[in-house]
Amino acid sequence: MVKWAMGNNSYLYFLFLVWLSYLIGTSVILFTKGFLLSRTVQRKNSTCLSHSEVPCTESLGYHSNFNNGEQCSFEDKLRSILTKYHSASSICLPSRTRVVLLIVDALRYDFTVYDDENTNPLPFQNKLPIMKNMLKEYPNHSRLYKFIADPPTTTMQRLKGLTTGSLPTFIDAGSNFATSEINEDNLIDQLLRHNHGVVFMGDDTWNGLYPNRFKRNFPYPSFNVWDLDTVDNGVRENLYPELGNSDWSLLIGHFLGVDHCGHRYGPNHLEMERKLGEMNDVIHNVIKKINQTENMMLFVIGDHGMTATGDHGGESLDEVTSAMFVYSNQPLANFKITTDSVKQVDLVPTLCSLLGVPIPFQNLGTLMLDTLPIVTKNAGLSNWQFTLYSLWANVQQVFDYIKEYAENEGTFDKEELKTFQQKFSIMNAKIISIDTEEKFKAFTEDVVIFLKSLRELCEAVWIQFDSYSMIRGLLFIFLTSFFVFVIADGMPSDKLSKVFSSSFILCSYIILAIAALASVLIYYLEMTDELLKTVFFFTGFASQVMLALLVVQNWDVITLNWYSRRKAEGLSNLICRFVLVFNLGGLFSNSYIIEESFVLLFLLVTVVLIGSLGITSKKVDIKKKQIVSKFWSWSKLKFIILAIFVAIFVRGSAYFWKCRQEQQWCFGLHLIGSNISKAETTKLQWAVTVIFLGMFVFSTKEWLRNAGNMNGYALTIIVAKFLPTTIVVCISGYWAMKRVSSNKKPINSLNSLNSLPLAVYLLTAIGLFVCILKPLYAYVLPNQSQEATSIPSLYKRIKNNISEREKRNEDIPIVYGMGTLYSAAFITIGVYLTLLFALLLGDAVAPSAVIMFLTAAFILIVTSVLRIEKATNIEQLFDVPNISVLVWIILSHYFFYGSGHQPTFQNINWDAAFIGTSGIFSNNFIPATLVIINTFCSYILMGVLLPLVLITPFTVFVMIPSVCEKKPELRLDASRGEVVLFERDKLMMTSMFALACKYITGHAIRVFASMLAATIHCRHLMVWNIFAPKLIFESIGMFVTLGSVTVGYLILMRINSQAEKMIQKLNKMS
């Protein structure tokens, strides 16, 4: 009867945890939907009449021929068009030339500059002499510019910018690998609409953005960053034959080799020299071909640059500055107006006026006047008139766009818009009076400034936050964590279990369902337009009401409980509150986020040392000599030393920190220096890592053996005996083979290399599966007469004394490993997880996973001893103090940094996606999972092992019996270890539930703080650099935490039910 109630209750707790996860998850989604929302895409397209469709009649006063338009000559028509500037954007000039657009991914500007005086060039310097030669020999035919990209500098964002001319939106940065079709107005579609053929070859990102647009299409896979040659060879193969065809107007070739070389080796590597040399040859050959045809232009551009380590994604100068090289076989106009650096979006209007198509509606770029070839079929008009016409078309398009956008969204400042309107009118009046080149030049300067200010206007007001959604998200997450914390912390466990065995959970779920139904109804009555948000809002609101009711109902119990506990709180709790405040407050300061690794180290060490100093309680009656001798002989001194060891471990993991872009002075493993090529570790590092892993596996196994969990021949035990060692062997073999293969060039060996990590995944999965299926690491000795004194851990054996009656029975079965029944399974799971993390982190950072596990273990022991010290009866040990939860939370945050991560997109370790996979995926699920496991390994480990925080004091009773020497009141229970937990499993599940709630709310309050920080700083200079990525990382970490805590809870439930079955079986036997 009692057992039944227990089982029922633990499922109810689980349901509550799911509900809590749902609430927190939806609040985060509500907030991010409002916060990361940005530019609204306008669905309008630009259109224009081509010159042949224009009738050449009306308003041509000076014209002699008044017959209908069909009969006037091309020259006449051109002349008539060019006088009508006000219709510049609606009538297109004829195409001037065909264009070859070669995109060299990650072509940084300094790769293209040739320095004659540099006698000893680095691998990336002076490798493109063709550009220098062309600039020198044909200064009228070639140009070289700095090509400034708008951050984020990821390839897909850049391609969007290069074809639509619009500014990037933030949310796109996250969806880089889920390429989605572009449906706003763009260059490619404009070309198609005007019957120009487009041929494409190279990076298959284009194919995702523009499916079925190209006349001929040669895509190659782009995701495999280790593959330097496939794409480039493919492009070269198709490029030269294609140049001979004449059915296209735009040919796009996208080379990826340089970018991949940067990702794999960094710019300072011999491979870079080879790749740039190849590019040089390609450009050389293309120019040769172009010279043989008429009217063709070559644009060689980089979509972004790269940092000193070869990565990109942020907005540092190195990443943003790429190069643009232009060559034309016709002479180029030279107005000397374009400066030596141009914006990337400027390419779109330029290509449009070259090819004679309207500029895409959402373009914000400015025509690059000096890259337009001089018009030969000029009908007696001078060249500047053509240029002016195109430029004015550009101005009209941008201004129309801004007007349209302002009308639809109402975002821009009315006054500002008015001044722009005035400026536009003035220029519109002025343009007719231009008749000389001098006047034209003066006018263009005004125009360029005008366009620039329009773009800046957009940049400033672009991000339109949905404050309503944001506020709902903020409010919900705050209220949820507040109420749940009050419930979990304030209610004593007997009261808590009483509340949950009532119909509370059932009622809540029914009300949630009603709320969801109501919102669906409202959606169908068309009172709202977004179903998901409405559902979130309604269910969230209903949940808050339910939680508030629960709190109000039990308010008297909660206050009483808090009041009585308040008296027992000491100085260390005060410090903990300080630590929490600093931890949360740091999220509001950009410099604290940048240096958060240090801040968390500081706080973690503080909490650990304070916790261990708090142990030395009771015996400070000052009586001179006695105390002194006592101090030195204190068994508690051990724990101070232990705490110092923990601190040393934690401080030592600083070696694995990575640096952010902003940390200029950075030190550590990944030095930002031009002399280090990455992805290669020394032999010493490899050896140290392997030794670390070996020792780790050995020590955990030794622990389990000492606890008596390694006896017998059950499946679980055999697996736990041999699997970790096998995994370590596989991992180290994989690293060794990778080292060998990375020295040679061919990538083909990669496939054979994958079998080892695949084996690791498989073995880990088997290990985890077996551990969950049969989680009991216990061995029942069949017959007492065979009492095996030879088994070394015999003295650890714990008699299974469920009741006094059995104690007197002679035939009681002996069970090994009963005292550590719960912890053994969790430790084994922790070992498997740690080994998996080690594989994914790579041989350079893998020791940090081991350090993480060991630190967690030490902290568990220290805090348990602290709790045993304070406890006066065994029930109190079930109550996990907030300081232990806080340490566990900080631990998960700190080891995010400790395992070599930073909350920035540049620092995401994409290499993890290639371990055991070939790099080509049908969907994004597998690589995304691998990268998330790599990035959030600390969150996963701490979440799954959370039950250990509750269990460890009882484990300590068995493993370190000396701690309860001074605790006679505990000794009786203590000798039975974790059996105590089993006997009071109802209490255990309740405390576990409270612990899980506290842990989750601790994380949630941090997410709340980073949300609030992002809201407060939403117009801050660094919001997209620091606060928004921090928020995103915190949110993903939150989701990972929710998942892993739930999994940990389920595992505990599983162990408990299995243990019960075993005990029942034993009872039947005896």
Partner 1 sequence: MDISLETYKVLKFNNLLTCLYLPAVVYLLNYSGQLYNLGKERTYVEYILIAAEFWKFFRFYRSQKNLKRKFTLGNIVKSILTCGAVVLIFHVGAILFGAPFLTEQYETLFFAVLLTVLTALPVCLYLESDYVFTLFSSIMLYDEMNQINPLEEYFLWNIRSCLFGSWLGAVLIPLDWNRPYQEWPIPCCYGAMAGCFVGNAYSFMQYAAYGQNEKRRSKCRA
Which residues here bind partner 1, judged by CB under 8 A? 570-572, 575, 582, 589-592, 594-595, 598-599, 601-602, 605-606, 609-610, 613-614, 616-618, 620-622, 624-625, 627-628, 631, 640, 644, 647-648, 650-651, 654
Instruction: Give the SS3 label for residue 46.
Output: coil
Could you tell me the smallest distance in angstroms from the CB atom of residue 605 to partner 1?
A: 5
Contacts of 264 (CB under 8 A, 6+ apart): 225, 226, 228, 271, 310, 679
Closest CB to partner 1 among residues 513, 1016 = 1016
Could you tell me the smallest distance in angstroms from the CB atom of residue 665 to partner 1?
A: 10
Alpha-carbon span 776 to 1060, nearest angstrom:
11
Contacts of 958 (CB under 8 A, 6+ apart): 707, 796, 798, 819, 820, 977, 978
Closest CB to partner 1 among residues 346, 596 = 596
Could you tell me the smallest distance in angstroms from the CB atom of residue 666 to partner 1?
A: 13
Q: Which of 789, 531, 807, 843 is nearest to 656 (CA)?
A: 843
Alpha-carbon span 1014 to 1011, nearest angstrom:
5
Could you tell me the smallest distance in angstroms from the CB atom of residue 638 to partner 1?
A: 13
550 phi and psi angles, rounded to 5 deg: -60, -45
Closest CB to partner 1 among residues 121, 570 = 570
Preceding omega of 152 cis (within 30 degrees of 0): yes
Closest CB to partner 1 among residues 523, 645 = 645
Q: Which of 238, 406, 109 is nearest to 230 (CA)?
A: 238
For residue 167 the two structure tokens come to 């500014």
Do residues 404 and 44 lie in contact, with contact meaning Cβ atoms separated by under 8 Å? yes
Could you tell me the smallest distance in angstroms from the CB atom of residue 269 to partner 1?
A: 29
Q: Which of 498, 419, 540, 506 is nearest to 22 (CA)?
A: 540
For residue 776 the two structure tokens come to 């009991």
Which string of b and e fits 508-528 if b means at least 16 CB within 10 Å? beeebeebbeebeeebeeeee
Q: What residues form DSSP beta bridges with 1047?
A: none
**CA distances from residue 960 to 776, 825, 955, 968, 969 in whole angstroms, order as listed:** 22, 19, 8, 15, 17
Closest CB to partner 1 among residues 613, 672 = 613
Q: Which of 734, 722, 689, 928 is nearest to 832 (CA)?
A: 722
Could you tell me the smallest distance in angstroms from the CB atom of residue 574 to partner 1?
A: 9
Could you tell me the smallest distance in angstroms from the CB atom of residue 568 to partner 1?
A: 9
Closest CB to partner 1 among residues 562, 631 = 631
Could you tell me the smallest distance in angstroms from the CB atom of residue 670 to partner 1?
A: 17
Alpha-carbon span 917 to 908, nearest angstrom:
18
Alpha-carbon span 160 to 162, nearest angstrom:
5
Using alpha carbons only, what angle is made at residue 243 by residues 238 and 249, rounded to the nearest 5 degrees? 110
Closest CB to partner 1 among residues 239, 607 = 607
Closest CB to partner 1 among residues 520, 627 = 627
What's 492-560 look like in SS3? Answer: CHHHHHHHHHCCHHHHHHHHHHHHHHHHHHHHHCCCCCCHHHHHHHHHHHHHHHHHHHHHHHCHHHHHH
Closest CB to partner 1 among residues 539, 597 = 597
Q: What is the pairing mode between strands 779-781 and 814-816?
A: antiparallel
Closest CB to partner 1 among residues 254, 893 = 893
Contacts of 466 (CB under 8 A, 6+ apart): 33, 34, 35, 37
- Residue by residue, DSSP assigns 91-130 as EEPPP--EEEEEEETT-BHHHH---TT-SS--TTSS--HH
Alpha-carbon span 883 to 865, nearest angstrom:
13
Closest CB to partner 1 among residues 538, 649 = 649
Could you tell me the smallest distance in angstroms from the CB atom of residue 610 to partner 1?
A: 6
Could you tell me the smallest distance in angstroms from the CB atom of residue 590 to partner 1?
A: 7
Closest CB to partner 1 among residues 87, 606 = 606
**CA distances from residue 367 to 99, 392, 395, 604 in whole angstroms, order as listed:** 16, 10, 9, 55
Could you tell me the smallest distance in angstroms from the CB atom of residue 640 to partner 1?
A: 7
Stated as kind and residue range, the H or E segment containing 396 is helix 383-409
Could you tell me the smallest distance in angstroms from the CB atom of residue 604 to partner 1?
A: 10
Could you tell me the smallest distance in angstroms from the CB atom of residue 316 to partner 1?
A: 16
Closest CB to partner 1 among residues 594, 728 = 594
Closest CB to partner 1 among residues 41, 648 = 648
Closest CB to partner 1 among residues 518, 666 = 666
Could you tell me the smallest distance in angstroms from the CB atom of residue 969 to partner 1?
A: 19
Work out the widest C-alpha separation in the chain, in whole angstroms: 127
Could you tell me the smallest distance in angstroms from the CB atom of residue 865 to partner 1?
A: 14
Could you tell me the smallest distance in angstroms from the CB atom of residue 651 to partner 1?
A: 5
If you count them, how many residues does the chain have?
1070
For residue 783 the two structure tokens come to 């017959």
Closest CB to partner 1 among residues 511, 613 = 613
Do residues 433 and 142 lie in contact, with contact meaning Cβ atoms separated by under 8 Å? no
Alpha-carbon span 730 to 693, nearest angstrom:
12
For residue 966 the two structure tokens come to 């001074």
Which residue is listed with tokens 């084996």? 759
Q: What is the pairing mode between strands 296-301 and 321-328?
A: antiparallel
Closest CB to partner 1 among residues 612, 991 = 612
For residue 616 the two structure tokens come to 């030395």
Closest CB to partner 1 among residues 256, 601 = 601
Could you tell me the smallest distance in angstroms from the CB atom of residue 864 to partner 1?
A: 18
Could you tell me the smallest distance in angstroms from the CB atom of residue 611 to partner 1?
A: 9
Alpha-carbon span 100 to 252, nearest angstrom:
6
